[in-house]
Amino acid sequence: MLSEVLLVSAPGKVILHGEHAVVHGKVALAVALNLRTFLRLQPHSNGQVCLNLPNIGIKRAWDVARLQLQDTSFLGRGDASAPAAELAERLKEVAGLPEDCADPERAAVLAFLYLYLCICRKQRALPSLDITVWSELPAGAGLGSSASYSVCMAAALLTTCEEIPNPLGDGKSTSRWSAEALELINKWAFQGERMIHGDPSGVDNAVSTWGGALRYQQGKISPLKRLPALKILLTNTKVPRSTKALVAGVRNRLLKELIDMNQHQLNALGVGHALLDQLCQVTMAHGLHSKLTGAGGGGCGITLLRPDLEQPEIEAVKQALHSCGFDCWETSISAPGVSVHAPASLDASMRRALDGL
């Protein structure tokens, strides 16, 4: 097992089209967002495994010897054969979570423990680790924050347990894993996502693993090689939503003009929201086109920015969106996938966040 500190990051995502159709076997177009989740893993020998999530104010620790004595045979071999709900209930007992545990904490803890116990149990003894995760992505906003969390966790644990090699060579500031290693990271990240969402499509963890832009259909992933450089406005309506509930709702109910048509169809499926409609109206008044991204029901929307758009025009749209009470970022898409970093490659504020300061 490796003994050095690992710094890993993975991007969020936006879905250009197909956010609900993908669950039913249709095509989704997903792109990596250049807002990322960062993870710091520090091996130690204090007999505990600690999880620190400063974004949501969670810090938990477990005695490694106690975890070692738990019967974890119900986890199987990390495949998708057991129902996610059944695994989650058993893991809640192992984690010692109270019945009234809030959803963000429950989901984050269960995904972590699942990956930790499944990946690390091949070791002679479960390792003592200190893990901190900090994200630039708002949770529950349709930007793949849970997938980037699962991808970072899977990549760090697999590397620490030497299931995959650490690609960061001497003198390098940032590196990425081989295609074979990325396949394994993606496989485990999907299992982490099952603990959080129940029945995810797999598209979020795929785009967070590989980055760039992907065409995704029925588990088959095809990279898009020639996606033009696209700038977007990313707007958070601040309306919380649940991917699991919205995906189930669609199942039970069974760029420009295409963007507008796609948004209308998503509204017809019942996954829109009045504030997402307001976002579309505000940007339409400035000649721009917007749609929700992710499960819908609130969360975030994206607005495509034409290459010929002048900065004063962009600032006017951002000001109009801020006046509605929305958070808004001018950003871009097609970011690199999961990566490992040298400490010096991260800015000082990020290092402080990961050091728990």
By annotation, the residues acting in catalysis are: 146, 204
Name the amino acid, one letter, at 213. A
Cβ neighbours, 10 Å, residue 319: 10
Sole residue written with tokens 């630039």: 136
- Other beta carbons within 10 angstroms of residue 126's beta carbon come to 20
Please state the length of the chain: 357
Q: What is the Cα Rg of the chain in Å?
A: 20
Give first-to-last CA distance, the chain, whole Å.
28
CA distances from 322 to 93, 233, 282, 325 (A): 44, 12, 11, 5
Query: What single-letter amino acid sits at 187?
Result: K
83 contact partners, CB below 8 Å, separation of at least 6: none
CA dihedral 246, 249, 251, 255 (to 10 degrees): -50
Query: Nearest 5°: CA angle at 221, between 208 and 163?
Result: 60
DSSP assignment of 94-141 = HHT--TT--HHHHHHHHHHHHHHHHHHTTSSSPPEEEEEEEESSPTTS
> Residue 339 — φ and ψ, nearest 5°?
-140, 160
What three-state secondary structure class fits 231? strand
Amino acid code (one letter) for 34: N
Nearest of 189, 267, 253, 266 to residue 221 by alpha carbon: 189
